Amino acid sequence: MKILVIGGGGREHTLAWKIAHDSTQPEVFCAPGNAGTAAVATNVPIGAEDVDGLTAWAVENRPDLVVVGPEVPLCDGITDRLEAEGLRVFGPSASAARMEGSKEFCKDVMLAAGVPTAASETFSGKEGALAYVREQGAPIVIKADGLAAGKGVYVCMSEAEAEAALEEICMERRYGDAGNRIVVEEFLEGEEASILALVDGENILMLSSSQDHKRVFNGDQGPNTGGMGAYSPAPVVTDALWPVIHDYVLRPTVDELKRRGIVYKGVLYAGLMMTADGPKVLEYNCRFGDPETQVVLPRIDGDLLPLFQACVDGTLSDDLLQWKNEACVCVVMASGGYPGSYEKGKAITGLADASALPGVVVFHAGTTEQEGQTVTSGGRVLGVTALGTTLPDAVRQAYIAISKITFDQAQYRTDIAARALNRDS
């Protein structure tokens, strides 16, 4: 069996790694991949956003399944293009991917479906949005409507912060056309969690809970990033909340999309705030989270491909999924300066020593090979991931692994999973 994984980050290394360990021993290709995927797949030098190039390669090579990692090609319609060529694709259509591609559309779907979410208004310019901020007061949340690589969300604790956020989005055009519309929404109190669900158009299979760490510094300080670490399971998602999330969040969302003529197939990722009034949706994404993927997939006991094939075929069922009785933690090692400007080409040492530790896998995010040496090539460089019998064990093992890896100006948080550890103490 031949599998193409599209993307070149930590999520895609995790997908390629898990698929490569499938019992059917498939031949895995990754476009464009990175230095880590090269160990488990054949890298294909085509960018993840090059829909024409990827389609041409897939038509020529006819993979049995294409697994799309990032949101941009999904929103650009790569699934539709490939399916039109008779190829099987794990990933939603362009119309379904609007759940991530437009926060305004996503809010509209949720309101129509009666899904619990923050109250919000959408604006097409700074002045209207700022007037609404002043009317509502702070704290308040400002979001660029379109895709912004996970960074277009501002949690503003004062009206001055909200005005500065609107200035960056609307006037400085930090996110380009993604900021043409702005969603201003109610600030929700609580603890965040991520639920990744597999959907086959009708059936919904929820994967284990996880919790991401968005801020760059310890204690959830500093600017938002693509994610500085994660752990699974997240104890804030109690057993009692599972049917609530399924019945009041995911089910009505999938049904409302279907009512609009949109059949959702692939991953539907719900970013949730666990409030005093129950779970509320902060956002939906149309793909696996990064770094949530790095802590959820290693906990799956068995093959991944049957789950993906079932999503395509409309045959998803609970008996396809088993879990290891272990916790998993991922700590992201990032380039100095991230999420702002940073240097590339820093030599990375200690990868083999870290990977040799029991339960540890080092997932590559922003790496490449240069003259036989693995070097940095992105803001988030590595996702150092560890399984453990308990969450404290997994945390301990992840940080032992990190102590063996070095590159110039490396930065990482030292408090990943602290919320869960403090909850248990």
Residues 209 and 316 in one domain: yes
Residue 407, in any domain of the structure:
yes
Tens digit of each residue's pLDDT (9 = 90 or more) over 348-368 = 999 999 999 999 999 999 999
**Percent over 90 (pLDDT), the chain:** 85
pLDDT at 149 over 90: no
Residue 410, in any domain of the structure:
yes
Cβ partners under 8 Å of residue 116, min gap 6: 248, 249, 277, 278, 279, 280, 281
Q: What CATH number should be reported for the domain holding residue 78?
A: 3.40.50.20
Residue 139, in any domain of the structure:
yes
Residues 195 and 311 in one domain: yes
Residues 213 and 316 in one domain: yes
Domain span holding position 334: 327-424
Q: What CATH number should be reported for the domain holding residue 382?
A: 3.90.600.10
What is the reported pLDDT for 70? 97
Residue 234, in any domain of the structure:
yes
User: Is the distance from CB of 99 to CB of 75 less than 8 angstroms?
Assistant: no
Question: Higher model confidence: residue 153 or residue 377?
Answer: 377
Residues 80 and 129 in one domain: no
Q: What CATH number should be reported for the domain holding residue 234?
A: 3.30.470.20
Virtual CA dihedral for 308, 309, 315, 319, nearest 10 degrees? -60
Residues 363 and 301 in one domain: no
Q: Tell me the DSSP string of 287-351.
A: S--TTHHHHHGGGB-S-SHHHHHHHHHT---GGG--B-S-EEEEEEEE-TTTTS------B-B-H
Residues 273 and 237 in one domain: yes
Residues 207 and 313 in one domain: yes
Residue 119, in any domain of the structure:
no
Instruction: Calculate Rg over the CA atoms of the chain.
Output: 20
Token couple for 424: 């248990």
What is the reported pLDDT for 74? 98
How confident is residue 424, by pLDDT bands cut at 50, 70 and 90? low
Residues 171 and 56 in one domain: no
**Using the 8-state DSSP alphabet, how is residue 247 labeled?**
I
How confident is residue 178, by pLDDT bands cut at 50, 70 and 90? confident
Other Cβ atoms less than 10 A from the Cβ of 360: the count is 21
Q: What CATH number should be reported for the domain holding residue 168?
A: 3.30.1490.20
- The whole-angstrom separation of Cα 249 and Cα 242 is 10
From residue 301, alpha-carbon distances to 75, 99, 319, 321, 370 in Å are 31, 30, 12, 8, 35
Name the domain boundary from 257, 285, 320: 320
Backbone angles phi, psi at 86, to 5 degrees: 80, 20
How confident is residue 150, by pLDDT bands cut at 50, 70 and 90? low
pLDDT at 203 over 90: yes
Tens digit of each residue's pLDDT (9 = 90 or more) over 316-348 = 999 999 999 999 999 999 999 999 999 999 999
What is the reported pLDDT for 361? 98
From residue 389, alpha-carbon distances to 181, 299, 322, 326 in Å are 46, 11, 16, 5
Helix, strand, or coil here: 238?
Answer: coil
Residues 373 and 411 in one domain: yes
What is the reported pLDDT for 128? 85
Residues 141 and 60 in one domain: no
Is the pTM above the cut of 0.85? yes
Helix, strand, or coil here: 237?
Answer: coil
Phi-psi region of 201 (alpha: psi -120 to 50; beta: other; left: phi over 0): left
How confident is residue 152, by pLDDT bands cut at 50, 70 and 90? confident
pLDDT at 180 over 70: yes
User: Is the distance from CB of 46 to CB of 113 less than 8 angstroms?
Assistant: no
How confident is residue 145, by pLDDT bands cut at 50, 70 and 90? confident
What's the average model confidence in pLDDT over 7-13?
A: 98
Residue 99, in any domain of the structure:
no
Residues 315 and 344 in one domain: no
Residues 300 and 337 in one domain: no
Residue 112, in any domain of the structure:
no
Tens digit of each residue's pLDDT (9 = 90 or more) over 221-274 = 998 888 999 999 999 999 999 999 999 999 999 999 999 999 999 999 999 999
- Average pLDDT in the chain: 95
- The whole-angstrom separation of Cα 193 and Cα 109 is 21
- The whole-angstrom separation of Cα 161 and Cα 45 is 41
pLDDT at 425 over 70: no
177-181, 208-212, 379-383, range with the lowest pLDDT: 177-181
Angle, alpha carbons 286-377-304 (nearest 5°): 40
What is the reported pLDDT for 20? 98
Stretch (H or E) spanning 78: helix 78-84
Tens digit of each residue's pLDDT (9 = 90 or more) over 266-322 = 999 999 999 999 999 999 999 999 999 999 999 999 999 999 999 999 999 999 999
Name the domain boundary from 180, 209, 243: 180
Q: How many domains does the chain have?
A: 4
Backbone angles phi, psi at 14, to 5 degrees: -65, -45
pLDDT at 29 over 60: yes
